[in-house]
Amino acid sequence: MGYRVVVVGATGNVGREMLNILAEREFPVDEIAALASRKSMGTEISFGDKTVKTKDLDNFDFTGWDIALFAVGSEATKIYAPKAAASGCVVIDNSSLYRYDPAVPLIVPEVNADAIEGYKNKMIIANPNCSTAQMVVALKPLHDRARIKRVVVSTYQSVSGAGKEGIDELWDQTKGLYVPGQEVAPSKFTKQIAFNVIPHIDVFLDDGSTKEEWKMVAETKKILDKSIKVTATCVRVPVFVGHSESINIEFEDFLDEHEARDILREAPGVMVIDKRENGGYITPVECVGDYATYISRIRQDSTVDNGINLWCVSDNLRKGAALNAVQIAEVLGNRCLKKG
């Protein structure tokens, strides 16, 4: 016996990936419902070798459904997630709405799967921010060995993190720069994204950081260890899919770069590509469509007593969003619901 699964926001980038990954990983689905706004109702979407038509979220009854994967913004989630939860359907939410609620578990299965039991508090589980998810997958096995004191991270985040509008703006701006009369002014982003980088993701806070940077700090502490100090600079780059991160880690205990490389090679969800030669590292183009969090450029930081630098790349629509949500559903099923 399998699960009755709902995907909310099924016509968006992440919603479509959720459907793809449910099928790819052969999640035990007895029945699938793809929900979207009324204007998208009836849109045909692929689910494995089948095609499903989207239904209207406004009129959907969650009673009798087991798991709902939410891939809509916080405003819609605020309306519909409590309705689903009240109907006995466990919500796995990709928005930021519940991430910082102490009663809601925030989960990356390779890092803190044991927190899954907390779903009973509100029948809701939060999916972390895309940039946090890949980073904590890399940090966890190293933290277990040498205890992390401080992390300095700079991100290089693709435009798909801003949704379809972000992808379209990069595409249209790039074309427009070569075709006179077809120039495209910034709309989704605050400045031109084509052939440019923008050190600004989400809104600015009073201390000069952005909300995206604050998310990385708060979520790392909640998922991994509240004692870890984190400082982040988040940058949007002209890449369609795949987030990259330059991570500097300071440990309490000494950790040799060779041991760090060996630890990461054995870590769940991690793939190490690290040769000190031309092309001996991963870039966003190569990670698209993959499940792994890729690690390259592992090396000692000689400027601190116990420091390591590394380069971390992952498909933000997968591990950063849809894949992590499906992995949470797998843990929920195996440990708690136990139907499949």
Give the residue numbers annotated as catalytic, written as ranges.
130, 243
Q: Order of strands, edge to edge, in the sheet holding 90-93?
A: 55-56, 29-36, 3-8, 67-70, 90-93, 124-126
